[in-house]
């Protein structure tokens, strides 16, 4: 049981396996770049401590000011004391904390401490003021000049070295960051590619499934269609065949007493039946070619007057007692289409009109142009079409609730043929009054 | 530096640190205030409400405890009405500080560091100290330059 669960789960995890190392590279590089950049950011802050040269020069200046103060003719004691304090404060600053460590590095801390100690030996607040005292202070402070200058010199060199080393560090950090960002970018690309590939695979599988399902459905449809086809067509074939059969039987039974009149009558029945068979086989053949995509319209510029008239002439010969009215609008009435296919459509619509209206009612054909289409409208004065039947009129094998004859193929084929030629069939119907079926074809 | 040396130096400081007379002016406030010019002694400033502030500085090691008056209090008490304060030090160092600094941060005029009164021989008698550790934005050279040591005058304008 456990095995089963494991094997079922493992593909789920396994499909993410290739992402893991890339993800690690991506996140790792980003984290590295981030850490390095933030370290750089912190280091780039300027600290006042780094301005050592300024502190040293301030000390130099204060020592110099003190020397000047004690050398003055009319000495101001409080001024000297203030200058003394300032000099001590600068030396104090140099001798403490970060400044002291800096000086220690360049070997000058002892110098500064010695100067401070020497100066404090001469503190005027302890030893008071006097010529000797002032002379000693002057000698000491004036002598400080070269020593502090030496410190300033070494501080400057150290500062430049540090600045150069810092810039070197920035540069190498920047290189590392650039490299890390590039690695992250490549990893991101790899992830995108992996995701895309995964998606494509899934999509491909989907398409395969869909195709399989579609094929299955098509196959089912085909099977269904053949069943319906066989049932209906065999019935439709049998009807005219049995008509022919019975006509021949009658003639046979009458034997010698067959009159010329009988022969003419039976002949009409037989020829009508043969006509029906021919049209049925035509329809079936056309449908078969259409379904197998073997039917190609042989496009030509058709004079619709001519097409309609020839169809009417043929129908009239089959139904000599029916009243067929043809009216054509003015103008060229040229359509683009296949002569035989258009003829077949009109013939079908005309046959239906004749079939579904009483013999004493006329069937009317009107040919006219509307917009970019040439129309052939066939109007009957039959019972009209039941509202429930209307949506299925062009469905294959559909036969109306009231009129159950026919194979249910004619209108479906007519519509398919119209569409094949860039046209269509529309209809309007008025229950109890009749219907109009209109074939629309593109103007030539 | 060896330990005895350091000790000697500290002792020297303790012995020689100048004592300020109570009447000595340590700070002068001028400019757009209630009076033309106000002079403060160290006692005047110690008489104000004292504030403690613990922070590191850029020129000393570790965190130190500073104690002094809030610059904001001093300006408010004397109706300072301006945009900036020009702070000047004993050595004539001078810098403009926006008054908004004192409103946004508890900036103090420190009179002592780690319990030891500041002296003109180190960074006293007054050192402007910002609460650097509490606000990262203050850890910037542009604020470091406003830490005036040996402050002697504030001019409001």
**What are the tens digits of pLDDT across the range A278-291?**
877 888 888 888 87
- The pLDDT of residue B109: 93
Average pLDDT in the B61-83 region? 90
Contact (CB<8Å) B141/A126? no
What are A135's two structure tokens? 């002379």
Element (H, E) at A325: strand A324-328
- Band of the pLDDT at B153, cuts 50, 70, 90? very high
Interface probe, candidates B91, B127, B129, chain A, greatest A C-beta count within 10 A: B91
Domain boundaries, chain A: 20-194, 225-288, 301-442
Q: What is the mean pLDDT of chain A?
A: 84
* pLDDT exceeds 80 at position B59: yes
pLDDT at B11 over 60: no
Whether domain A20-194 has CATH 1.20.120.1730: the reply is yes
> SS3 for A322?
coil
How high is the pLDDT of residue A381? 93
Side-chain half-sphere CA neighbours of A91 within 13 A: 26
Q: Which two tokens stand for residue A418?
A: 């119209």
pLDDT at A3: 42
pLDDT band (50, 70, 90) for residue B10: very low
List, for residues B116-137, the tens digit of each pLDDT value: 999 888 888 899 999 988 888 8
The pLDDT score that the predictor gives to residue A289 is 82
Residue in B with minimal Cα distance to A85: B121
* C-alpha to C-alpha distance for A308 and A346, rounded to whole angstroms: 7
Kindly report the average pLDDT of chain B as a whole number. Answer: 83
Question: Do A92 and B121 count as a contact with CB atoms less than 8 A apart?
Answer: yes
The answer, yes or no, to whether the previous bond of B125 is cis (omega within 30 of 0) is yes
pLDDT tier at B145, thresholds 50, 70, 90:
confident
Q: What is the pLDDT of residue A296?
A: 81
All residues of chain A having their beta carbon less than 8 Å from the beta carbon of residue B59 are: 48-49, 93, 96-99
Please report residues of B whose CB lies closer than 8 A to that of A89: 120-123, 149-150
Report the alpha-carbon distance of residue A138 to residue A142 in Å, rounded.
6
Cβ atoms B41, B52 nearer than 8 A: no
pLDDT in tens, A67-92: 988 888 777 888 888 889 999 999 99
Q: Note the ipTM here.
A: 0.77
Q: What is the mean pLDDT of each run of 10 residues along chain A (444 residues)?
A: 42 66 81 81 61 87 89 83 90 89 90 91 84 86 88 88 83 84 85 86 89 89 75 76 84 80 82 81 81 82 90 87 90 89 89 89 93 93 88 82 70 88 92 92 92
User: Is there a contact between B144 and A123 if contact means CB atoms under 8 Å apart?
Assistant: no
Question: A81 touching B, CB under 8 A?
Answer: yes
Start-to-end CA span in chain B (Å) = 46
Name the β-bridge partners of B69: B50, B109
Q: Which CATH architecture has domain A301-442?
A: 2-Layer Sandwich (3.30)
Instruction: Determine the pLDDT at residue B91.
Output: 84
- CB spacing of B121 vs A88 below 8 angstroms: yes
Chain B residues whose C-beta is within 8 A of a chain A C-beta are: 1, 5, 8-9, 12-13, 15-16, 18, 58-61, 90-91, 119-123, 139-141, 144-145, 147, 149-150
- Check residue A125 and give its pLDDT: 84
The per-residue pLDDT for A282 is 82
Asked if the B20-156 domain carries CATH number 3.30.470.30, the reply is: no
Interacting residues of A16 by C-beta distance below 8 A, sequence separation 6+: none
Domain ranges of chain B: 20-156
Cβ of A45 and B149 within 8 Å?
no
């Amino acid at each position: 049981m456990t095995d089963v669960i494991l094997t079922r789960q493992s593909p789920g995890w396994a499909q993410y396996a290739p992402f893991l190392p890339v993800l690690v590279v991506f996140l790792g590089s980003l984290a590295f770049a981030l850490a390095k950049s933030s370290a750089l950011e912190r280091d780039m802050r300027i600290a006042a401590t780094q301005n050592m040269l300024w502190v040293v020069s301030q000390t130099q200046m204060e020592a110099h000011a003190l020397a000047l103060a004690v050398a003055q003719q009319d000495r101001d004691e409080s001024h000297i004391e203030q200058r003394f304090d300032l000099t001590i404060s600068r030396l104090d600053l140099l001798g403490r904390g970060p400044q002291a460590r800096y000086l220690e590095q360049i070997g000058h801390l002892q110098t500064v401490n010695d100067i401070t100690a020497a100066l404090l030996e001469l503190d005027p607040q302890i030893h008071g003021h006097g010529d000797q005292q002032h002379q000693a202070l002057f000698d000491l402070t004036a002598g400080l000049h070269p020593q502090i200058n030496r410190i300033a010199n070494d501080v400057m060199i150290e500062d430049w070295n540090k600045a150069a080393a810092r810039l070197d560090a920035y540069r190498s950090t920047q290189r590392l960051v650039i490299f890390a960002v590039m690695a992250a970018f490549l990893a991101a690309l790899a992830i995108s590619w992996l995701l895309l590939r995964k998606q494509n695979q899934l999509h491909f599988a989907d398409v395969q499934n869909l195709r399989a399902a579609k094929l299955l459905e098509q196959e089912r449809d085909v099977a269904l269609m053949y069943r319906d086809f066989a049932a209906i067509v065999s019935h439709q074939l049998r009807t005219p065949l049995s008509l022919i059969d019975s006509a021949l039987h009658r003639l046979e039974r009458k034997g010698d007493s067959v009159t010329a009149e009988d022969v003419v009558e039976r002949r009409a029945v037989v020829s009508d039946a043969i006509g029906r068979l021919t049209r049925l086989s035509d329809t079936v053949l056309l449908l078969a070619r259409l379904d197998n995509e073997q039917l190609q319209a042989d496009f030509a510029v058709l004079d619709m007057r001519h097409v309609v008239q020839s169809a009417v002439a043929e129908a009239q010969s089959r139904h000599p007692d029916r009243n067929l009215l043809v009216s054509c609008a003015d103008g060229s009435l040229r359509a683009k289409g296949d002569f035989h296919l258009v003829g077949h459509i009109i013939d079908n619509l005309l046959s239906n009109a004749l079939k579904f209206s009483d013999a004493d009612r006329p069937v009317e054909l009107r040919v006219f142009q509307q917009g970019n289409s040439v129309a052939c409208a066939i109007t009957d004065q039959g019972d009209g079409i039941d509202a429930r039947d209307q949506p299925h009129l062009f469905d294959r094998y559909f036969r109306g609730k009231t009129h159950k004859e026919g194979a249910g193929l004619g209108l479906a084929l007519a519509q398919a043929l119209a569409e094949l030629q860039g046209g269509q069939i529309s209809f309007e119907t008025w229950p109890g009054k009749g219907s109009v079926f209109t074939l629309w074809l593109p103007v030539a | 530096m060896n330990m005895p040396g350091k000790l000697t130096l500290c002792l020297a400081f303790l012995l020689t640190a100048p004592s300020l007379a109570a009447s000595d002016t340590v700070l002068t406030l001028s400019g757009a205030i209630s009076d033309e010019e106000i002079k403060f002694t160290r006692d005047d400033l110690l008489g104000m409400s004292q504030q403690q502030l613990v922070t590191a500085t850029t020129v000393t090691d570790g965190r130190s405890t500073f104690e002094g008056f809030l610059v904001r209090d001093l300006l408010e008490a004397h109706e300072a009405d301006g945009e900036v304060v020009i702070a000047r030090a004993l050595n004539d160092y001078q810098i403009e500080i926006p008054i908004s600094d004192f409103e946004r941060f508890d900036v103090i005029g420190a009179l002592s560091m780690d319990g030891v009164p500041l002296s003109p021989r180190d960074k006293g008698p007054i050192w402007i100290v910002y609460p650097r550790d509490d606000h990262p934005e203050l850890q910037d050279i542009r604020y470091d330059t406003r830490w005036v040591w040996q402050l002697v005058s504030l001019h409001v304008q």
